[in-house]
Amino acid sequence: MTSLKSLALCFLAASVAAAPDADTMKRGQAVYSRTCIACHQPTGTGLPPVFPPLAGSEWIAKSASIAVRNITNGMIGPVTVKGTTYTSMMPPVAGVSDKDIADVVTYVNNSFGNSGAAVTEAEVKAIKAKYADRKTPWTAAEYEKEGK
């Protein structure tokens, strides 16, 4: 009983800690409208079979690092999202600061029915530093090999 209770408290603490504040969501939405919306659409549905959805995407759920790396280096298909295979290409997103990337990934992680982590500017910097040598677009096959 006690352990169940502390487990429940743990989940509560985790979800409270991960919940982004309203200002971050507002900034993230502005970055989304400027840099993602043309392809992934206002409600994250994408435009199948050319642009995949972010709403309910298993790649969004898998790791925030994926969105950060797609923004930085782009992504080249094939990639299967919610049962549809896309063989297209996402170009690197230009004109975004590390702070913009943190805000937009936090926004996408917590919009369109998604619920995920808030990403900080420091985390974005760390992900970029880890993959600094990367010059080509990422692939789903590479992401699949990685853990969460």
Residues contributing to the site for ligand HEC (CB under 6 A): 35-36, 38-40, 51-54, 57, 59-60, 66-67, 70-71, 75-77, 79, 81, 86-91, 93, 104, 108
| Minimum CB–partner distance for residue 118 and ligand HEC (Å) | 15
| Minimum CB–partner distance for residue 15 and ligand HEC (Å) | 22
Contact 124/100 with Cβ under 8 angstroms?
Answer: no
Of the pair 59, 123, the CB lying nearest ligand HEC is at 59
Of the pair 10, 130, the CB lying nearest ligand HEC is at 130
Of the pair 8, 142, the CB lying nearest ligand HEC is at 142
| Minimum CB–partner distance for residue 46 and ligand HEC (Å) | 6
Q: Which residues contact 78 (CB under 8 A, 6 or more apart)?
A: 85, 86, 87, 140
Of the pair 20, 52, the CB lying nearest ligand HEC is at 52
| Minimum CB–partner distance for residue 1 and ligand HEC (Å) | 40
Distance linking the first and last C-alpha atoms of the chain = 30
Q: How far apart are CA 39 and CA 134, in angstroms?
A: 24
Q: Locate the DSSP E strands across the chain.
A: 75-76, 79-81, 84-86, 89-90
Of the pair 2, 136, the CB lying nearest ligand HEC is at 136
| Minimum CB–partner distance for residue 77 and ligand HEC (Å) | 3
Q: How far apart are CA 57 and CA 19, in angstroms?
A: 19
Report which residue type is found at 32. Answer: Y
CA geometry: angle 69, 71, 76, nearest 5 deg: 75
